[in-house]
């Protein structure tokens, strides 16, 4: 009998899980309360990396996930969502430099690609940086890192899957009988029979888990992203400078971020989200100081996403022991992990044992 699987969430995880399930022959319905990639996946820095991710199983999962992105992009003619451009990072002071050195030592001890550059070497990679914004040396370069365009990836995975798609229709109830979920009910009144359910709901994952009688601790945080209008500046890589993080964003646009600007997001009593304009101006000013060619750049949009972060910061992946046909694919760093971790979860949905890869990320650790 062909498995009927309901995947809740149409972001990078939901799309990846659905694509792998369909490749393996399952019948799949992807449901989302909004549009595909309309939540966190559409408002993320989407940096692909295993940069300082601990403990070791998390690092190894991320490295395997980076390879999965590489293979998928190579296998699809015309793929344009994956950019393995490398990442440059440097420190503002001695204390930050010591932390950066410890991180580089740790990842190189795992065999991860990282090396130190001088100012001159960094400028050969990023010639439009103001040399005064770089230290003379101590610039960490991670050549295998990069970024993805999540909406394009989600679009490819959903189209390739051929899964049934139900959007703008929230999950309101899970029919649970014994130790199994039997059906998924939607706000429209539609009921979807299910042999298995996969919770890929990102920031809403705790609410979906609660419908199944499971308590998933989450500590979601806001993420503020600043998109410039197209600008003729040569930014080719992910840049983690002391006062601004930035990367290309397609069509000549740049994406800017800092952890400080995340704190400038506010939600009103009516539920509307706004960002302090002064905080946005400060990030843009830092970008202009680093790349003088940004002097004339204007802000095209400011987007606020919600990062889905499980309580201990690690991914939650695979089946729930108490409800073995209910599965999780929830994490921060979904842009990195989704294709690989989603495939592992999908395989487990259909009966394969991936305990070796998923043991550290089971729901039961909570």
Residues facing residue 330 across a β-bridge: 316
* Helix, strand, coil percentages for the chain (3-state, nearest 5): 35, 25, 35
What is the DSSP secondary structure assignment for residue 300, as one 8-state letter? E
Q: What does the pLDDT read at residue 168?
A: 98
Q: How does pLDDT run across 238-272, given as a tens digit for each residue?
A: 999 999 999 999 899 999 999 999 999 988 777 78
What is the DSSP secondary structure assignment for residue 229, as one 8-state letter? P
Of 64, 66, 82, give the one whose Cα is nearest residue 74. 82
Question: Looking at residues 30-52, what average pLDDT do you find?
Answer: 93
* pTM for the whole structure: 0.96
Q: For each of the domains in the chain, give its residue range(s) and CATH number, in order of start.
A: 4-64+150-219+311-365 (3.50.50.60), 84-146+220-307 (3.30.9.10)
Chain-centre distance for alpha carbon 256: 16
Q: What does the pLDDT read at residue 2?
A: 65
Contact 11, 44 (CB under 8 A): no
**Average pLDDT across the chain, whole number:** 96
Question: Looking at residues 28-48, what average pLDDT do you find?
Answer: 93
Question: Looking at residues 140-144, what average pLDDT do you find?
Answer: 98
Res. 112: pLDDT tops 80: yes
């Amino acid at each position: 009998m062909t498995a009927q699987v309901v995947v809740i969430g149409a972001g990078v995880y939901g799309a990846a899980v659905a694509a792998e399930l369909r490749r393996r022959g399952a019948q799949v319905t992807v449901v989302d309360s909004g549009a595909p990639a309309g939540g966190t996946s559409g408002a993320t820095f989407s940096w692909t990396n295993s940069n300082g991710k601990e403990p070791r199983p998390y690092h190894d999962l991320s490295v395997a996930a980076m390879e999965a992105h590489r293979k998928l992009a190579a296998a699809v003619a015309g793929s344009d969502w994956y950019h393995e451009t490398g990442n440059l990072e440097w420190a503002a002071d001695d204390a930050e430099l010591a932390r950066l050195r410890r991180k580089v030592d740790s990842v190189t001890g795992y065999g991860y690609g990282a090396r130190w550059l001088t100012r001159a070497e960094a400028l050969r990679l990023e010639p439009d940086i103001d040399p005064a914004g770089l230290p003379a040396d101590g610039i960490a370069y991670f050549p295998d890192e990069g970024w993805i365009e999540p909406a394009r990836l989600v679009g490819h995975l959903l189209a390739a899957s051929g899964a049934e798609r139900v959007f703008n229709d929230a999950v309101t109830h899970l029919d649970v009988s014994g130790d199994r979920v039997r059906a998924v009910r939607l706000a429209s009144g539609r009921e979807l029979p299910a042999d298995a359910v996969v919770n890929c709901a990102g920031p809403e994952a705790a609410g979906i888990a609660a419908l199944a009688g499971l308590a998933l601790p989450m500590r979601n945080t806001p993420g503020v992203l600043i998109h410039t209008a197209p600008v003729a500046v040569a930014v080719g890589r992910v840049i983690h400078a002391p006062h601004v993080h930035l990367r290309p964003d397609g069509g000549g646009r740049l994406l800017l971020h800092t952890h400080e600007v995340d704190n400038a997001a506010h939600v009103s009593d009516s539920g509307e989200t706004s960002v302090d304009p002064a905080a946005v101006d400060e990030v843009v000013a830092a970008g202009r100081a680093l790349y003088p060619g940004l002097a004339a750049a204007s802000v095209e949009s400011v987007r606020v996403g919600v990062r889905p972060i499980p309580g201990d910061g690690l991914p939650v992946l695979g089946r729930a022991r108490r409800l073995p046909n209910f599965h999780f694919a929830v994490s921060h760093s979904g842009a990195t992990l989704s294709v690989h971790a989603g495939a592992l979860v999908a395989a487990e949905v259909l009966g394969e044992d991936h305990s070796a890869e998923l043991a550290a990320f089971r729901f039961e650790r909570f």
